[in-house]
Amino acid sequence: MSDNTHSEQLLSEVAALPGLPGVYRYFDAQGQLLYVGKARNLKKRVSSYFQKNHDGTRIGHMVSRIVRMETTVVRSEAEALLLENNLIKTLNPKFNILFRDDKSYPYLKITGTREAFKVSARVPSPSLAFPRMAYYRGVVDRRHSYYGPYPSAWAVKESIALLQKVFRLRTCEDTVFANRTRPCLLYQIKRCSGPCVDLIDSEAYAQDVRDAERFLRGETQAVLDALEQRMLAHADKLEFEQAAEIRNQMSALSRVLHQQAVDNVSDKDVDVLAVKVHGGRACVNLAMIRGGRHLGDRPYFPAHVDDATAIDNALAGEGGEAPPADPAERVAVQVLEAFIAQHYLGVAMPHTLVTSHPVGKPLLDALTEQIGAKVNAVHHPREHRRIWLEMAQKNADIALARLLAEEGSQQARTRALADALHLPDDQLDALRIECFDISHTAGESTQASCVVFEGHKMQNSQYRRYRIDGITPGDDYAAMRQVLLRRYGKVAEAMKEADMEDVATPDADTAMAAVADATAETGQDAPDAAPTEPTVESIAGPRMPDLVLIDGGKGQVSMAREVFEQLGLDLSLIVGVEKGEGRKVGLEELVFADGREKVYLGHDSAALMLVAQIRDEAHRFAITGMRAQRAKVRTGGSKLEDIPGVGPRKRARLLQRFGGVRGVAAASVEDLSTVEGISAELADAIYRALH
């Protein structure tokens, strides 16, 4: 890439850069962030982009688009690495390796066990004297103890089931616990010690809680030793029933430890990371070891691997690095380091990582600086760590193979649909389908959904909901007319304006920009978007979709045709999905607005599978929005339903006593506690939830 393709100002900025560590950011003409990088020597690293010839490569494509640059000088390479990945996570640059930000791991919670809280509590409630264990995901409360994180909800529930078998801690809600008059089924099957009806005293129960917490921290041998001492003490006192109970506990715990083949008490908290790269995609499999127990794993699939690795490989060796000679290994190392830097940024992490590929010292130094403790990465593990890594590598292989198979299947479906509808097949990766559905309950809370399929997958960040007003309740045709006018009205206007302006010398870029601006303006309808799914954003795109799917038959297609004729849009884009005979799945037919005959694709058609997938997603999205809106429109009962411990009976009593949710919200804590079954603690929770 020669210098004369860039402005003098940009090149002079590059020449004036200092030879210090820092972070650089590249932007294109539209202000879009292209790439974020870090350097030990800013001047040397950034200059290499503009001094070498990168024509015909991905890096050349990226460099040709650079019109502006920003840099930040920092004190060390570790600080630069942390800043780089902070910017990558927050700004999502187009040419960096990106991992989906998912820190919402579940935990196992044991309530009311924090000593500071127990000491400060004036009068401990029965529920506080008998802590409860539960699945938890959310903000940490200082009153409770949390163990994890776990890689999945299933892993938490498995641990809860294990603790029920061994230590018999309760899992019931506090309101249920406070109102029991006889033990529940869990007591009968020996999964709970029955503290709700005083079948165990608080001191003995507290000992079980302490043992459970020590087990979760990995102190398994200490727990077994303590149980053995208690068993022998009961035997010396001739309390053989109690001794037998503890013996059964020890047996259950021993069986668990033997089943956990990769258990090792010498490693308390470790994360195991294995990378697999194949077919242009990558997978990082993260296995979690907590308290010496293998809790399961989770695969992660990064985006932009090809672009980012092409750029890094082209500049490999700048600043003295010595990358692996094998290109595949080089990509794997880059993916692994990108995951570690992004995943552990700003969060607590274990001090030991077991990795399938070597991790650079600057990254480990940065993590050490972040958490204030030494972070080690073991690349060639032995013994139990080697077993963990082999398991993680096998799971990474399986997860990536599954992903590639699914993507191949989805691409085959896209091609089959294009063939069936005689669509151009030279740009299937860019094929865009928008699908609309209407949902309501007997005319109440009508909502329309628009979902988007592009790049062989559903694009949930571009989904959109529309609240339908001003129509006769239950009139689906009017609802469809309204949503299509709102979705495509401004796009059609922008297309007409672009055609008028460029009738002499059409400029495709101008027309595309005009349509993009108009489409982006649909964000004015943002208040209609239901707040139940945070991923929902306004749809924006530079062109009309290649296909507009309507969930309905001739009637809905006729309404869509009227709208498109009014807007001057191409009728051949409209395709209706009509239920087949008996409304059976697999017998659907496609109905066209431009006069073509109906098409039956066949129940085993890959094209029909794709149509059904998109149609079902539109239906799901509309249903969830309608239900959320309906709950808001009604009395507000959903607010009561969301309060833990308020079941149907308590909710009915509250609504009957106070005449509705407004009355409940207006009541004081004292008034609420006078209702049968509502304790003072639950009354306080209800009051806070409604205010």
- For the cut 60, the answer to whether the pLDDT of residue 544 exceeds it is yes
Instruction: State how far the Cα of 356 lies from the Cα of 84, in Å rounded to an integer.
Output: 24
Instruction: State how far the Cα of 31 lies from the Cα of 672, in Å rounded to an integer.
Output: 56
- For the cut 70, the answer to whether the pLDDT of residue 135 exceeds it is yes
Q: Which pLDDT score, from 0 to 100, does residue 323 have? A: 55
Q: Whole-angstrom distance between the N-terminal and C-terminal Cα of the chain?
A: 61
Confidence of residue 232 (pLDDT cuts 50, 70, 90): confident
Instruction: State how far the Cα of 209 lies from the Cα of 169, in Å rounded to an integer.
Output: 7
Instruction: State how far the Cα of 500 lies from the Cα of 128, in Å rounded to an integer.
Output: 74
- The set of residues, in sequence order, having a beta carbon less than 8 Å from that of 523 and lying 6+ positions away, is 538, 540
Q: Which pLDDT score, from 0 to 100, does residue 274 have? A: 95
- For the cut 70, the answer to whether the pLDDT of residue 101 exceeds it is no
Handedness of CA 520, 522, 524, 528 (dihedral sign): negative
- For the cut 70, the answer to whether the pLDDT of residue 19 exceeds it is yes
Confidence of residue 255 (pLDDT cuts 50, 70, 90): low
Instruction: State how far the Cα of 517 lies from the Cα of 83, in Å rounded to an integer.
Output: 33
Contact 536, 463 (CB under 8 A): yes
- For the cut 60, the answer to whether the pLDDT of residue 207 exceeds it is yes
Tokens of 680: 């003072």
The stretch 579-608 carries a mean pLDDT of 80
Instruction: State how far the Cα of 57 lies from the Cα of 310, in Å rounded to an integer.
Output: 8
- The set of residues, in sequence order, having a beta carbon less than 8 Å from that of 143 and lying 6+ positions away, is 111, 112, 114, 117
- Mean confidence (pLDDT) of the chain: 80
Beta strands in 356-427 (DSSP E): 376-378
- For the cut 60, the answer to whether the pLDDT of residue 313 exceeds it is yes
Q: Which pLDDT score, from 0 to 100, does residue 521 have? A: 38
Number of residues in the chain = 691
Long-range contacts of 258-263 (CB under 8 A, 24+ apart): 260/293, 260/294, 261/387, 262/294, 262/384, 262/387, 262/388, 262/391, 263/220, 263/292, 263/293, 263/294
pLDDT digits (tens, 9 = 90+) for 147-164: 878 888 888 888 888 888
DSSP 614: H
Q: Which pLDDT score, from 0 to 100, does residue 256 have? A: 55
Instruction: State how far the Cα of 600 lies from the Cα of 146, in Å rounded to an integer.
Output: 55
Q: Which pLDDT score, from 0 to 100, does residue 305 have? A: 84
- For the cut 70, the answer to whether the pLDDT of residue 145 exceeds it is yes
pTM (2 d.p.): 0.64
- For the cut 50, the answer to whether the pLDDT of residue 462 exceeds it is yes
pLDDT digits (tens, 9 = 90+) for 491-512: 888 877 776 665 544 444 444 4
The stretch 233-246 carries a mean pLDDT of 79
Confidence of residue 433 (pLDDT cuts 50, 70, 90): very high
Strand order in the sheet with 68-73: 33-39, 22-27, 68-73
In terms of Cβ atoms closer than 10 Å to its own Cβ (0-12, 13-18, 19+), residue 372 is exposed
Most confident by average pLDDT, 262-271, 358-367, 525-534, 579-588: 358-367
Confidence of residue 5 (pLDDT cuts 50, 70, 90): confident
- For the cut 90, the answer to whether the pLDDT of residue 424 exceeds it is no
3-state secondary structure 543-606: CCCCEEEECCCHHHHHHHHHHHHHHCCCHHHEEEEECCHHHCCCCCEEEECCCCCCEECCCCCH
Tokens of 53: 């010839």
Q: Spell out the domains of the chain, with CATH numbers in brackets.
A: 3-91 (3.40.1440.10), 107-259 (no CATH), 270-288+329-401 (no CATH), 423-630 (3.30.420.340), 635-690 (1.10.150.20)
Closest CA to 54 of 226, 312, 434: 312
Confidence of residue 259 (pLDDT cuts 50, 70, 90): very low
pLDDT digits (tens, 9 = 90+) for 651-661: 888 877 776 77
DSSP 471: S
Instruction: State how far the Cα of 484 lies from the Cα of 477, in Å rounded to an integer.
Output: 11
Of 401 and 149, the one with more pLDDT? 401
Closest CA to 200 of 229, 226, 169, 224: 169
